[in-house]
Structure 1
Amino acid sequence: MMTRSPPLQPASADDGSRLEDLVELIERLIDVVTEENIALAMGLPASQSQHTAIKLELSELFEAWVKEVGRKNMLLGTSDRQLQGRVLTRLEQLSVAMDENVTRLRAAIEASQRRIDAVMAAIREQISDNAPYGSNGRISAQSASYARNVRI
């Protein structure tokens, strides 16, 4: 599926290979986020996503690129207009995929919360059905009925 490996750090060559490495990293991020979006769309709980660790690793690498460029330690300029266009196109695709990912993750978290709420409500109901005392502190009818036919 994803056989390419990201650069461990931003590349330092001046011939456009930095941008090629950046494009490759962005493409890997898009792939992972898209795969996670598909899994979330199929109903996979967010906590069971296998993509989280990979996405985190790749996003940390991307963040390192952004910091280096922001500090002006690295210039990503090139005279290759086609390569510049690829970078911009991939960044736009990444933005769209990440927006969808945020929406799907929120929906998955809300679904998980609804499941938790339903389980907790069932537990509370089961406990209250078997409790010897009602909410008013008096012996419940079920508990009282068990003792009616007991003779000492």
Structure 2
Amino acid sequence: MQHLAFKKKAYQYGLSLLADKQLNLQADIAALRDGIANDSKSSMGDKYETSREMSQQEINRLEQQLLINQQHIFNLKNLDWQSKNHRILLGSLVLTDAGQFFISVSLGEVKLNNQSLYFISPASPMAKCLFGRSVAETFEINNKTIKILDII
């Protein structure tokens, strides 16, 4: 039961990270838009236009990141993280002798309960190696043999 509690905490932590990132991206976009709106056109018109264009490009880049983040939130919210399976699939929290991997969305390494946990995308090479395997199986990735210790 404590493993499922850890998985729930990981799930909630992932949603929290994504929500924080969304707020930060939205604030950055709003600040840039305010900067463009409040920028007065000076006698150096070309410099003004260049500055506006650079700000607009940055807004476009941040909006793209925001869309990706929103997709991650959608994917994580629609994940069946509560199911316990004997084989690894999307939503599995996998304990190996090389670390803990939550196959959900790509957030990288996080610290949870003083433990490293890797949020990995189902499209990642590690997830592809893990899918369909069960406890006690081994596999090789990057010339390293890894053993699956538990699936939550």
TM tier, smaller: 0.3 to 0.5
Structure with the higher fraction of residues in helix conformation = 1
Structure with the higher fraction of residues in strand conformation = 2
Structure whose CA Rg is larger? 1
